Amino acid sequence: MTLALAVPSAEAVRQSAMVTAHAVAGVVLNETGLRMLVKWPNDLLVNRRKVCGILAETLVQCEATTLLVGIGLNVNNIILHDQLPRASSLSAELGHSLDTHRLRATILSMAEQNLRTLILLGFDTFFPWMNANLALRGEVVTVEFNDERESGRVAGLSRTGALLLESPDGSIRQVGAGSIYDW
């Protein structure tokens, strides 16, 4: 599912995937009781398996900026764990199928509300939840970005949503962009 929202500037894209993750996780918890954790920067995990990926980008045309947020949520998908060992679906985790129409409508409504809050009030509104629901905390991961790799122990998030990695010497560095492929 995709949400398109007029925004004042392209800067809104920076934390929009994380804010959308907050919306998806909240709706899923309310509707199913499943707790999701955020695998920085844009995935949601249930029981250490990916059930959702979120991508955000901006489109600028004729001086108008539109934020596009794509949400790929595995709801009633059949996942073959021998082929995709780190993937799952909500129905696989629950043991029964779900009403996708209701779930989609509720997620899109909450995501839009969260994105408007992000634009008006900033990321501080979402930081406590994001930091408390960060997956892989305390684990050593490798972040890849533009063919570069940076490894460290996940220590948390910065106030801007950057990943905090702890080096073996105890120093903390902020990683503002990238992906964690192995966990």
CATH fit for domain 137-180, picks 1.10.10.10, 1.10.3720.10, 3.10.129.10, 2.30.30.100? 2.30.30.100
What is the strand order of the sheet 140-145 is part of?
172-175, 163-166, 148-157, 140-145, 179-180
Compute the average pLDDT of residues 152-166. 95
CB 51 within 8 A of CB 86: no
Does the pLDDT value for residue 182 go beyond 90?
no
Per-residue pLDDT tens digits for 24-56: 999 999 999 999 999 999 999 999 999 999 999
Half-sphere exposure of 9 (CA within 13 A, CB side): 5
- pLDDT band of residue 8 (cuts 50, 70, 90) is confident
Does the pLDDT value for residue 16 go beyond 80?
yes
Does the pLDDT value for residue 100 go beyond 80?
yes
Per-residue pLDDT tens digits for 115-138: 999 999 999 999 999 999 999 999
Question: Domain ranges in the chain?
Answer: 2-131, 137-180
- pLDDT for the residue 34: 98
CB 2 within 8 A of CB 70: yes
Does the pLDDT value for residue 86 go beyond 80?
yes
- pLDDT for the residue 81: 77
What span, in angstroms and rounded, lies between the C-alpha atoms of 173 and 79? 36
Does the pLDDT value for residue 13 go beyond 90?
no
Does the pLDDT value for residue 1 go beyond 90?
yes
Q: Which CATH topology does 2-131 take?
A: BirA Bifunctional Protein; domain 2 (3.30.930)
What pTM did the predictor assign?
Answer: 0.92
